[in-house]
Structures are given as structure tokens and as C-alpha cells.
Amino acid sequence: MSRNAESTAFRSALEVVRGVEPRVAAAIAAELADQRESLKLIASENYASPATLLAMGNWFSDKYAEGTVGRRFYAGCQNVDTVEALAAEHARELFGASHAYVQPHSGIDANLVAFWAILADRVESPALRKAQARQVNDLTEADWFALRRELGNQRMLGMSLDAGGHLTHGFRPNISGKMFDQRSYGTDPATGLIDYDRVAEAAREFKPLILVAGYSAYPRKVNFRIMREIADSVGATFMVDMAHFAGLVAGKVFTGDFDPVPHAHIVTTTTHKSLRGPRGGMVLCGPELADQVDRGCPMVLGGPLPHVMAAKAVALAEARRPDFADYAQRIVDNAQALADGLLRRGASLVTGGTDNHLVLIDVSGYGLTGRQAEQALLDSGIVTNRNSVPQDPNGAWYTSGIRIGTPALTTRGLGAPEMDATAELIHTVLSQTTPGTGPDGAPSKAKYVLDPAVAESVGKQAADLLTPFPLYPSVDLG
């Protein structure tokens, strides 16, 4: 697509929106401006291509398409079948999977589909069979009671939240923590790394139905071959949530023991983050779970979003291009350059560095909580998110860590020199920020003090750093 065509497309779209609700059009334009000016280091965010964004704004949004390709519960879905089949084809080829289900609306939805597919495959329950067969209305109250009792007694072993795991891996605030009797494996207190012997010991003791691997804040590779061996040793289904690092798998940065697809029974992912597609989810599996996975809608999903599946097809096609592998490698190179720059300036990093796209800073060394650091950085034009560190004394709300990632800045074209400059800016803000006090004069975990002149200076330097790397240079809103 030419630069003029992209500008025309987005300008025209905003003009149409402006004619109905100008405040929405203004907010859309403001969001682009904000993203262009911010040093975005949130590890779970990226920038989708104009083609991917435009694929979401069309008439597919108006279609209901419950069911799967060729087996819909609504008529007139032939074009939806086309884009869903294309998205699934690209996913299979990209990841070397035998089956791909591209309907999930998010990573959480993808995990729910996987959980129910595993349960349906493993649990002998007449109530569950009825539900999977779309006979939900035929379930009696006794059926529901039996189903809740059976599912509530199933066991899941996943990575602990403070070690880098995710809420959907069995934690109480999430439905997975209500569906399963859950236990966590952590990391070695001395190194912050997964101790596979301890995972194996926990699996032998707990005997989970599902062993989950994957993370949202673990800065190292995971050996999926070893994890599969552990799962097999206790008869567990091995599930991997690769939402964060799917782009590194797609780009063949993670191969062999570090590619989850050949080793896991079932793999879930988001399609944004390092994969650089639209916000959405996806499930990959072998033929033994394919039928159960394809029942995700209406079992736990609402109607598929055909416009998002169209965008997934576009993004997955982009990821199959040779230049995506170069992009994926640069994500890791940039993360390591950023980590090195922080270490040289005295920052404390969980595990002492990174193998992937993210870096986890323990900001307690600066005398701060994660919440104080997050806000001070935001004041200075650097967008991050607070995150727990292993054995975090401040809990999941205030935290002691800041998680930063490189997919978005890599998309903009920044490289190792810019990562070192970014490390300097981060260190400047954190070293110049001090904890504040509450109204009663007591130390606060949220309040902080940062000289506005420092924040202004860093913000200007961040903007200057981004100037040679414009975001969506082909899009001029005028």
C-alpha cells in the first residue's frame, strides 16, 4: 500500500466518524499522537501494521458466525469462512502446528478454550459431554452440580504469579482458579531461574491434570522438552501459553527445546504483543484435541469476530515474510542491549538479564515501589508497567518491579544505541525519584517526589530519541 493510500484511508475513516461523534474522532487522533510521542516499553504492547488495522474496520463486523468453517449456525458466512480459513492456514504454516483455532477474542479466552478442551478430552462426565454437544439447555440441576464438583477437583500446576506466571494459570481472581485445584512452581531464590528438578518434584507430589508453562514476566527461555518430560512422567496434559513470546517462535528465534509447539499437547497465544497483530487470541493443537478446541464457540466464547479474524489473517501473513525473522531477532538483541545498559548503571535485574523480549527491574534498589517508579517514568514520557518480582514484599498492587519490553520500539526501528540511551533515561528518573509520604506523614508506597525539571528534561530527551524513528510514517492525518 502506498503512503498516500494509507493516509487517505485513515483520514477518510476519521472524517466519517467525525460526522457522527467528533469526540470519538478526536480521541482516536489523540491516541495516535500520544503513541508517537511516548517511549513505549510495555512488554505486552506493539504497533500493528496499517494493513492489519484497516482489516478490522469493515463489514465483517456486522456478521454473526457461530460455529466453524463450513459448519455455521448462521447463514451467509461464506466470506467469513474464507478469512477464518486463511488465518488458520497461516497459523499452521507459521508455527508448524497441525491445527489452529483463530476465534478467541483474547489470550484469556484462548486459555479457557484450552482448559475446556482438555477437560472434555480427559474427564468422563455425562454433563460435560452434553455441554460440549450444545445440549446446555438439557442439563439438569444435578448435571450442573456434578459438573462443578468434577471440574473443581481437577488439578493444575503452573508458574507462580510473582515468579512471572499469569493470572489465567490457576489464580483465584481468575476463573481458572475456580475451575481447578491449583498449585504453583516458582523459581530458584538465588538465580530467579526455573528449577526443573523442583518442578518435577512438585508434579510428582501434586499429580496435576494440566501442567502449564509460559509467562508474562519471566525474562528467560523455557526448556519445553524438559517440561513435556515432566508432564509425561505424571500423565499430565502439557499446555504452553506463549502469548508473550509468540513472535519469537514465529521468527525462529526460539527453536528446538525452546519452541513449545513440537513439545506441548496444546499451545495458546495472543496475536498482538511480539506477534504484532490485532488484539486477539489463538489455540494450536494436535488432531487429538482439535474437535474439542473447535467447540470453543459457543462453549466459552461469544460469537466470533470476523473482522478481527480478517486482521489476524493479514498479520499472520506478514509474520510469514522473511523480514519478520529479522524483526524477531532484533527484539531480543534490543532487550539484551537494554538490560546491559541498565546493569552498567547499577540497576538490579531479575535473573541478571534476559533471553527474550522483556527485562524486569527490581526497583527496591532505588528505594522505590513499582507503583512509584511506574508513575515517575510516565511523568517523564516513558511508558512501562509495574510488576511483581519473586517473593515480592510489596504484593501485586504496589510491587517492587518494573517490567519493560522491546517489541514496540523495535517496530519503530530503534536499535542498540537507542536502547543504551533509554537505559540512561530510565536510570536518571529512578535515581532522582524518592518515596513520598501520606497525609499523616507516614511513608507511602504510592506517593513519590520527582523534580518536575528532571521529568521535563527526560521527556524532551525521550522525544528527541524517537524523532528519527517516526511511528506510522505513511499516515498523515493532516
Pairing, β 210-214 against β 180-185: unpaired
Which is the catalytic residue, given 36, 64, 121, 188? 64
Distance between CA atoms of residues 407 and 357, nearest Å: 7
**Residue 45's closest CA among 233, 244, 207, 183?**
244
Residue 27: Cβ within 10 Å count: 11
Q: What is the DSSP letter of 393?
A: T
**Beta strands 99-101 and 266-270, pairing class:** unpaired
Peptide bond before residue 298 is cis, with ω within 30 degrees of 0: yes
Active site residue 428: no
Q: Any catalytic annotation for residue 433? A: no
**Is position 270 annotated as part of the catalytic site?**
yes
**237, 268, 270, 411: which one is catalytic?**
270
Q: Which of 322, 323, 354 is nearest to 419 (CA)?
A: 354
- CA dist 119 to 113, 128, 129, 161, Å? 10, 8, 10, 23
How far are the Cα atoms of 36, 232, 264, 408 from residue 255, in angstroms, in the given order?
33, 21, 14, 22
Q: Three-class SS of residue 305? A: coil
Options 66, 181, 257, 420, the catalytic residue: 66
Amino acid type, 469: F
- From the candidates 276, 279, 295, 371, give the one annotated as an active-site residue: 279
> 241 catalytic, yes or no?
yes
Exposure of 108 in the CB half-sphere (CA atoms within 13 A): 10
130 carries an active-site annotation: no
Of 72, 220, 273, 445, the active-site residue reads 273
Taking alpha carbons only, the member of 116, 270, 89, 126 closest to residue 180 is: 116
Known active-site residue 424? no
Inter-residue contact 285 to 99 (CB < 8 Å): yes
- Known catalytic residues? 64, 66, 241, 270, 273, 279
